[in-house]
Structure 1
Amino acid sequence: MFPAAINDPLEFKNGRQFSAWLGLVPRQNSTGGKNILLGISKRGNGYLRRLLVQGALTAIVRSKGNDNQIRWARKLRQTKCIQVAAVTLANKTARIIWSLMAHNKEYQVMS
């Protein structure tokens, strides 16, 4: 799905720019050295963003695996609402996808 939507992953400088293009990074309202992060921007490709967030939500709720990312998201879930944890995991997943596409590598699970 992602290779069809993105012609060249190197159009983005880094994974954060890719996540911003998908609308998964918080909007910033910063001034005077004080960073204020708001909700996600919801710009970019809504379909891909929706797929990532729904996949992350399903992984948090139903996964029985013990992957590092799932453990991290479940720990985050203890302090934040489930939607925030899902969007955060989706953001992290998007950055990994960009890295894999940009460097032409395969994903390897690290436990």
Structure 2
Amino acid sequence: MQRSTGGKERLGRTSRMGERTLRRLLIIAASAVVRWAKRKGVPAESRLGRMLARKPPMLVIVAVANKNARIAWALLTRDGIYRAPAVTA
């Protein structure tokens, strides 16, 4: 679902109509990221750190999986190359 207004795209939530195996793999990968972040620590000012402080772990896992899916989709549709965001010190 897409709702756009004023030139700003707003995409809807990730539906359950997609590929089941792909969704499962995204959740497994995101849970590994969250588990690693809890064990090793993550900066409190990072997006993941802020979410872990406020939200239940499963909700954070789904949010990370959703973000990863959107990044992958954008890269595939635009023939892009992933460049990690610059870390500010």
- Per the normalisation by structure 1, the TM-score is 0.56
| Bigger relative CO (Cα 8 Å, ≥ 6 apart) | 1
Is 2:68 the partner of 1:93?
yes
Q: Which amino acid aligns with 1:61?
A: R
What 5-or-longer segments of structure 2 have no aligned partner? 1-8
Is 2:30 the partner of 1:56?
yes
Counting matched residue pairs gives 74
Is 2:51 the partner of 1:83?
no
Identical pairs, percent: 27
Moved over 3 A (4+): 14-17, 63-66
CA RMSD of aligned residues (A): 2.7
Look up the match of 1:39. none
What 5-or-longer segments of structure 1 have no aligned partner? 1-13, 24-41
Q: Which amino acid aligns with 1:74?
A: G
Matches of 1:65 and 1:78, distance apart in 2:
12
